[in-house]
Structure 1
Amino acid sequence: MKDAQPKTIYLKDYREPAYWIDRTELEITLDEDSSTVEATLHVRLNEAQYSADKPLPALELQGVDLKLEAVWIDGETAAEARYQCLQDGLRVTAPAPLFELRTRCTIEPQNNTSLEGLYKSNGMFCTQCEAEGFRKITYYLDRPDVMSVFSCRINADKERYPILLSNGNETGRGDLDSGRHWVQWHDPFPKPAYLFALVGGDLQHVSDQFVTRSGRAVTLQLFTEPRNIGKCDHAIDSLKRAMRWDEEVYGREYDLDIFMIVAVDHFNMGAMENKGLNIFNSSCVLASPDTATDSSFQRIEAIVAHEYFHNWSGNRVTCRDWFQLSLKEGFTVFRDAEFSADMNSRSVKRIEDVSLLRTAQFAEDAGPMAHPVRPEAYMEISNFYTLTVYEKGAEVVRMIHHLLGADAFRKGSDLYFERHDGQAATVEEFVSAMEEASGVDLGQFRRWYEQAGTPRVEVTDRYDPEANSYTLSFTQSCPSTPGQKEKQPLHIPIAVGLLDDSGANVLPETTRLLNLTQTQQNFTFEGVTARPVPSLLRGFSAPVKLSYEYSDAQLAFLMANDSDGFNRWDACQQLCVRVLQRMAKHYLSGTPMEVDRILTAAFSQLLNAPVTDHAALESMLVLPAEAYLAEISDVVEVEANHAAREALANHLSAAFEPEFERLYQLSQLEGEYQPSASHMGCRSLKNAALAYLARASDRGIELAEQQYHLANNMTDRFRALAVLVHSEREAAEARSANSLNEFYNKFKNDPQVIELWLSVQASCQRKGALARVKALIQHDAFDSGNPNKLRSLIGVFCSQNTTGFHGGEGEGYRFLADQVIELDKRNPQIAARLIIPLTRWRKYPVARQQKMLEQLQRIFAQTLSADLYEVVSKSLQ
């Protein structure tokens, strides 16, 4: 257990700083053994909080792992009595309301395994300063409400580090003695320290240009290691699409002369929106048809857009404090989701987002780390880069969009950007701008930001044939969460459609938005001449768990007839879940697992209908994941859920082998690979059909092997490999081993592809899963210092391989604990994220609970980082 419990930070304690830093001038010298950072800060008293005619408060700067070499105040060497080095900072006696502070520190980036601050990755210098990494570079007011104009001069060995980058526009460069050189950068827009970035390395780049709507030419550059230079085109094209979309949809134009992206292999995050210099995890930006799957292409497009959209929703307007994190992240996730929906299939994008929300974020809401979209307290801010802040935060913004309508929402965002440009804002200021622009009262709606947990909405209905009226009755509630026992009613927008017996929409407006604001509330529809089938929560208009007693026949009806693409998929999921739960009960009781006829008939109708949207059909063919079945279970029966899902998939493959064969052949594409929405849809349907065919017979295994060898793109090759690796059929065993070896030998020098190779084995639920993972840890392909490798192997095994992780006598739990204990010494952020599967111990039967709890207690007995301590301690409460 950690000797001293980390300090808890509370939103209610927020105070503005005693000083502002108007300008920050950095001189950074990069060397092999240590690097030097000389920082000149132009400091100004916060006269709104402190009077200049009274004794001046001390300037309290944050600093971690710094060696202070010198201090100057207003150009003169400071006497030691004027400053004091603290364990985690520097206290300076202020000479006047306005003064200049200069410090010189040395740091060791090559030994910085936390990947926060300035560190070296594969011989390249790189920074990651969000949330509190800048304090590992120099002493500073490292908080988001301190916005400063930055200049940065970097000097380094020219041969080793020919590329030197920082934020803003380049303002000068030159050569120095001893083979060194320097480059000067200036960012004219005030920003907090967390947006500072620096890169130094031997990199190549691709260049392009974007002309803004006002006619300004912006240079676009993507930097990467020479071996990856052929993987940049998709990211550059995605960036240009995002820039154009943001101009057209939000009226936001880019503001610097250059926009740069750098790809880094060792990176804790997916990407970082540093002003003008985005730093990306290589897996989130590099793609070619031979090395990246369709999902990677789509993910790259979304992440590039997300980080670019931050230029306004996060950079030009940032968050006042870290409690307001969703102000920039939730808003920007909503923006990137809308962009992706416009670029691809809107209904499929919504299905993907809601699947993640229901499976992972709802589980977070029900776990020990549950917190509101705007948390009230934290020990370590890195732990609050969560699905609640990002995904649920985006859903909250989406609900505002529903309530206001597109035009009023645009007016609200315009007002927000104009009013707070160059400022650090709050959630209240964002919501107030929306209210003022639209005239819609969002007072009660603000509770979405304040209350944790997933709301539950129960619905009943009543039809009055004499009055031709139909009434829907709603009851809302929200379970207790840590620190919040009592919950107030929320303002929940519920999109509703009514269908007649033919599947036609009864309502004149097709979909009506109901405003549920009370604990219990009725809505009556007049002029309804027959009892309709309700289509509830269309488009998933609110992040709630909604229950209505549909019959199986009604779900099959909606699955075939609902005009809302999301609800058609959701009806299919609900029907499958019901069948799977019944089958799991039979498994536990030792009776045969049978598939209901109505589900078989519904799939027959689905598979024999004309294919109008390949991607949408593929999404309906994907059965509910075991992780989702676990999330909706009061007690998770791992083996029963797995057995039921396997049995249902096998039943469908056997019952519809000719239909899957037809879809497989129908979805074949000719010619070169294209990452277009239509081609991706075809490939997704083809590979879904292949997975079912491989269950049905050895012919499917032969088709998978054939596809693996003949594929002209990574999507088809990897999906075929996954079919072979995961198959329980005897015919697949030798083929999968050969294909894995061939795949590794072909791509062993490509880190991103090897991450796929690791993940497909980590997720394989055949016997011996843990032994395979342990063997892979010893493989040359695995690097415990690379977060991507950790996530691909250990993360995938513990979060996705349910039978492997939970099997045996708790060996999987001990394995994870061992990895986390060791990793916490090097990279606390990743350790705190990997531990999550153990924190949900209360969801499992008593025998498993005890084994998981033992490992959590073993971890807690160690000396822990603040990151891991917070997660484990809350899990044990």
Structure 2
Amino acid sequence: MRPEQPSAVKLSEYRVPDFLIDHVEMDVVLDGPATRVSARMSLRRNLQGRPDAPLILDGDDLRLSGPLEIDGRALPLSDYSVAAQSLVIPAPPEGPFELHLVTALDPAANTKLMGLYRSSGTYCTQCEAEGFRRITYFLDRPDVLATYRVRIEADRAEAPILLSNGNPESAGSIEGTDRHFAVWHDPFPKPSYLFALVGGDLAQLKDSFRTMSGRDVELGIYVEHGKQDRAGYAMDALKRSMRWDEEKFGREYDLDVFNIVAVSDFNMGAMENKGLNVFNDKYVLASSDTATDADYSGIEAVIAHEYFHNWTGNRITCRDWFQLCLKEGLTVFRDQEFTADMRSRPVERISDVRGLRAVQFMEDAGPFAHPVRPESYREINNFYTATVYEKGAEVIRMLKTLIGAESFRKGMDLYFERHDGQAATIEQFIACFSEASGRNLDQFRLWYSQAGTPTVRAKTSWDEAGGTFTLELEQAVPPTPGQDTKKPMVIPLAYRLFGENGTPLSVENSSGDGELIVLSDAHSRIDWKGLPKRPVLSLNRGFSAAINLQTDLPEADRLFLARHDDDAFNRWQVLQTATTEVLIKSVHALRSTEPMPDDAPQIEAFAAALAHTALDPALLAQLLTLPSEADLAREIGRDVDPDAIYNARLRLKQSLLAALEDDLRARYEATSVPAPYVPDAAGAGRRALRTVLLDLLTARRDERSAHIAYAQFVSADNQTDRIGALAVLSQIESRLREDALDAFASRFAGDGLVLDKWFALQASIPEAGTLERVQRLMQHPDFSLSNPNRVRSLIGGFASGNPTQFTRPDGQGFAFLADNVVQLDRMNPQVAARLLGAFRTWRALEPVRRAEAEKALRKIAESGSLSADVNDLVSRALT
């Protein structure tokens, strides 16, 4: 039995709104379960809409308090109707009119964390994608833009801080009471999903920023009391983001204030509400004792991402949710470029591609595959995916590569000029770059409409007599659900030819595009003529195209590129490819009578990397990191055995340790970082390398290994080294592991963000008994199913970060997740649906595990009433 699928929303059926809202006056009285929202909306018919259409306002779990009024006159009950999802006025006035309504809310009871809810006593909102309809009845769609004036009233002791979008207009006390109010005005029209409101007792970190035109902007970060000393890095990242956007894109901030509020209960990472960003506190709070380098980097990236949305998402928003990538993919591209400028560009590129392949490539290959711009959806919350975000960013990067940096900047300038204050589409966006570059980009738009990761096969040949080097390319886009046949894509392949001793060759290819090959047909041939000797080809440099590249490079060429390629990404890629091939051979050998592969080439390559003392430590850390279990599962593609993959990786680590132990230890001891801790790129790179080396040094997973890791754990003076050692130690069955885990829990008791790491590490232990450990940890006083961060760290950490135990052949791991998804679905459907991402590759598992995964999915499907979020994903997974 499969669940009944909710009806689909289709891009082809988009129609403009029948009514528009020009301005909204809101009066929000925060009063616990008696909270009231009064909304006065200035409406008018849309001349492009249906002339006789009724007014239909969206609602969700709302209760009207009092009658509706139009232009100050109460409507009789016969003139409107209220249903579960809407409020309908069949015959509204023909001319412009003002609608007034009041809704009653209980924010503390809102466990979905959508709309207006409470987090640790603080009132806050989350309205993207369709949360505003849980606050008041409204035209809750991205293409209805209005200005807002918001009055907030609350008990002064309970909520001394009252914030909303825009600029502060007035504030004061309410005579004869302990209550006060604040009025905020946002002069920039925005869709309802960007509305925000916060009321609570919060500490503030203040600063200011002077824009390129000389305006002073007041900056504020609001956090729980006692944590303001952990918000300094977030403030620094904000100011750097503001300056960078001015310098790189010419975008100046437009309001008088910019505020960030950190809350502990949040479904997402952060939200870009105009002038009032609401953040998961994970992406705001950091200190050397509580946060790792990865946390600092995450804070920097997410702060930048949400700030950059001010222009790519807020000033220009998306016409409908099908255009979600227009704001998210574009803004991810911008935050990745910012991080690359702040840190190491090559390392950032490798890190981005690792993430893309680990999640989005897997998404493309499974039942949840969809285009960057989908043609339909059943639940929009399920399309906040790696495809929309990360692949969407790669499409922007390919566009820049295709037309060049200068034309790309001109296209962005034209986009900002032409569509400021509008709700735009992908077609309008691409048209700006077509006009700026003079290129027809119609075929390029297939990247937005065709799902799946293209495969490009590259075959080379050498005509010594004619001095001609030839490259033959063939592309194919795999079938995906709903798209069986695909058209050839436009694929920009950056390349370079190298001669002897690694000298780059300056020679034109037959297509005449410099060091760029634009593959736009299913098959293509490129010739380089007049060469004295066969060159070595470096292709798809910097991962210029988001593809699976298959080449016929001989072993000698790979070794050459590993030593001489001046593109750091491709040097890393060559080693990754070779190591992946060896590991896959090991996986097959572990499951058959085939002999184990020879590890000598990998040992030689790792030894050469270790000997390269001038190499950036962050890059060396990437070079020494083996392909992940997810990488190998993706490459194997079918009949996947996670146990064999785990054992193959461990075997290679042990082989590297046996051959290179002295070199590894020497490099480890030489890679200490002077105190005090500084979260800069240089220190982060050295600490990352130290952790990778520690993992290799402890590959025997014996008691001696445990002592090595434990020594770093007890001597660490920062969280990066401490959690790095604990992560390694968690993979070793030892009393020292339990001692370290107990010591960590005792030291950070009550600090949820730090304990999230502790929960996640235990959930990832690759041993029998981990599932039972996770079940016990769910009873821990610091764990709560109502907190998304705790759920993601423990349950999500087990399901997505522990493939051997989650996919146990007895099916208990799958059943555990199914039970928790059903329970969570009743509380917070978005969190429950996110957990289902662990099933994205279930069809690729070997038959026993595959059958157990399907059984668990059917258990969810047959569990009774499911939310639209979970129903949608389960239906797609079983289709």
Matched, 1:719 2:724: yes
Gaps of 5+ in 2: none
CA distance in 2, matches of 1:776, 1:348: 35
Describe the superposition over 1:826-870 as per-residue Cα deviations: whole angstroms up to 9, x where unpaired. 111111110122342210112211111111111111211111111
Q: What amino acid is aligned across from residue 541 of structure 1 in structure 2?
A: S
Matched, 1:372 2:376: no
Matched, 1:572 2:575: yes
- Alpha-carbon shift at residue 151 of structure 1 (Å): 0.9
Contact 2:203 2:226 in 1 (8 A): no
Most deviating of 492-501 and 567-576: 492-501
Residue of structure 2 in register with 1:672 after alignment: 676
Residue of structure 1 in register with 2:23 after alignment: 23
Residue of structure 2 in register with 1:682 after alignment: 686
- Alpha-carbon shift at residue 2 of structure 1 (Å): 8.8
Where 2:717 maps in the other structure, the secondary structure is coil
Q: 1:64 aligns with which of 53, 60, 66?
A: 60
Most deviating of 334-343 and 505-514: 505-514
Describe the superposition over 1:279-313 as per-residue Cα deviations: whole angstroms up to 9, x where unpaired. 00011111111100000000110000000000000
- Alpha-carbon shift at residue 766 of structure 1 (Å): 2.5
CA distance in 2, matches of 1:476, 1:384: 27
Residue of structure 1 in register with 2:107 after alignment: 109
Matches within 5 A, 1:66-145: 66-69=62-65, 70-92=67-89, 93-145=91-143
Residue of structure 2 in register with 1:554 after alignment: 557
CA distance in 2, matches of 1:839, 1:604: 37
Residue of structure 2 in register with 1:705 after alignment: 710
Q: Structure 1 residue runs of 4+, over 4 Å off? A: 1-4, 508-511, 696-700
Where 2:676 maps in the other structure, the secondary structure is coil
Most deviating of 593-602 and 517-526: 593-602
Where 2:726 maps in the other structure, the secondary structure is helix
- Alpha-carbon shift at residue 259 of structure 1 (Å): 0.5
Residue of structure 1 in register with 2:847 after alignment: 846
Contact 2:3 2:875 in 1 (8 A): no
Matched, 1:37 2:37: yes
Contact 2:807 2:814 in 1 (8 A): yes
Residue of structure 2 in register with 1:178 after alignment: 177
| Normalised TM-score (structure 2) | 0.97
- Alpha-carbon shift at residue 592 of structure 1 (Å): 5.9
Describe the superposition over 1:165-220 as per-residue Cα deviations: whole angstroms up to 9, x where unpaired. 10000101111143111110000000000000011111001011110010000111
| Normalised TM-score (structure 1) | 0.97
Residue of structure 2 in register with 1:506 after alignment: 505
Where 2:740 maps in the other structure, the secondary structure is helix
CA distance in 2, matches of 1:361, 1:350: 15
CA distance in 1, matches of 2:297, 2:801: 21
Residue of structure 1 in register with 2:6 after alignment: 6
Contact 1:243 1:253 in 2 (8 A): yes
- Alpha-carbon shift at residue 68 of structure 1 (Å): 0.8
Describe the superposition over 1:76-97 as per-residue Cα deviations: whole angstroms up to 9, x where unpaired. 1112222111221101231222
Contact 1:2 1:864 in 2 (8 A): no
Describe the superposition over 1:7-37 as per-residue Cα deviations: whole angstroms up to 9, x where unpaired. 2100000000101000011101111223101
Q: What amino acid is aligned across from residue 709 of structure 2 in structure 1?
A: A
Q: 1:418 to 1:164 in 2, by over 3 A?
A: same
CA distance in 2, matches of 1:761, 1:284: 22
Residue of structure 1 in register with 2:878 after alignment: 876
Most deviating of 263-272 and 87-96: 87-96
- Alpha-carbon shift at residue 71 of structure 1 (Å): 0.7
- Alpha-carbon shift at residue 508 of structure 1 (Å): 5.4
Q: What amino acid is aligned across from residue 121 of structure 2 in structure 1?
A: G
Where 2:465 maps in the other structure, the secondary structure is coil
Contact 1:205 1:229 in 2 (8 A): yes
Describe the superposition over 1:435-457 as per-residue Cα deviations: whole angstroms up to 9, x where unpaired. 11121221110111111111111
Matched, 1:152 2:154: no
Q: What amino acid is aligned across from residue 286 of structure 2 in structure 1?
A: A
CA distance in 1, matches of 2:533, 2:471: 15
Matches within 5 A, 1:621-640: 621-633=624-636, 634-640=638-644
- Alpha-carbon shift at residue 699 of structure 1 (Å): 5.4
CA distance in 2, matches of 1:643, 1:704: 21
Matches within 5 A, 1:613-628: 613-628=616-631
Residue of structure 2 in register with 1:382 after alignment: 381
Describe the superposition over 1:318-350 as per-residue Cα deviations: whole angstroms up to 9, x where unpaired. 000000000000000000000000000111111
Contact 1:43 1:100 in 2 (8 A): yes
Residue of structure 1 in register with 2:646 after alignment: 642
Describe the superposition over 1:726-756 as per-residue Cα deviations: whole angstroms up to 9, x where unpaired. 125xxxx111111111111111121110001
- Alpha-carbon shift at residue 778 of structure 1 (Å): 1.2
Where 2:430 maps in the other structure, the secondary structure is helix
Q: 1:600 aligns with which of 598, 603, 623?
A: 603
Matched, 1:345 2:311: no
CA distance in 1, matches of 2:765, 2:597: 25
Where 2:658 maps in the other structure, the secondary structure is helix
CA distance in 2, matches of 1:739, 1:650: 24
Q: What amino acid is aligned across from residue 875 of structure 1 in structure 2?
A: A
Where 1:674 maps in the other structure, the secondary structure is coil
Most deviating of 297-306 and 490-499: 490-499
Where 1:715 maps in the other structure, the secondary structure is helix
Matched, 1:695 2:699: yes
Q: What amino acid is aligned across from residue 793 of structure 2 in structure 1?
A: S
- Alpha-carbon shift at residue 698 of structure 1 (Å): 5.5
Residue of structure 2 in register with 1:254 after alignment: 253
Q: What amino acid is aligned across from residue 286 of structure 1 in structure 2?
A: L
Residue of structure 2 in register with 1:814 after alignment: 815
Where 2:518 maps in the other structure, the secondary structure is strand
CA distance in 1, matches of 2:647, 2:3: 45
- Alpha-carbon shift at residue 63 of structure 1 (Å): 0.5
CA distance in 2, matches of 1:34, 1:457: 60
Where 2:32 maps in the other structure, the secondary structure is coil
Residue of structure 1 in register with 2:463 after alignment: 464
CA distance in 2, matches of 1:394, 1:671: 37
Q: How many pairs are equivalent?
A: 869
Contact 1:359 1:628 in 2 (8 A): yes
CA distance in 2, matches of 1:592, 1:638: 20
Contact 1:593 1:647 in 2 (8 A): no
Contact 2:332 2:389 in 1 (8 A): yes
Residue of structure 1 in register with 2:487 after alignment: 488
Residue of structure 2 in register with 1:216 after alignment: 215
Residue of structure 2 in register with 1:752 after alignment: 753
Matched, 1:403 2:406: no
- Alpha-carbon shift at residue 556 of structure 1 (Å): 2.7
CA distance in 2, matches of 1:555, 1:382: 43
Contact 1:556 1:575 in 2 (8 A): no
CA distance in 1, matches of 2:60, 2:110: 12
Where 2:447 maps in the other structure, the secondary structure is helix
Quote the RMSD (CA, aligned, Å). Answer: 1.5
Where 2:27 maps in the other structure, the secondary structure is strand
Q: 1:539 aligns with which of 537, 542, 546?
A: 542
CA distance in 1, matches of 2:607, 2:682: 24
Most deviating of 762-771 and 421-430: 762-771
Contact 2:809 2:849 in 1 (8 A): no
Residue of structure 2 in register with 1:162 after alignment: 160
Contact 2:61 2:84 in 1 (8 A): no
Q: 1:4 to 1:586 in 2, by over 3 A?
A: closer
Q: 1:520 aligns with which of 506, 519, 523?
A: 523
CA distance in 2, matches of 1:639, 1:861: 30
Residue of structure 1 in register with 2:770 after alignment: 769
Q: Percent identity?
A: 47
Residue of structure 1 in register with 2:445 after alignment: 446
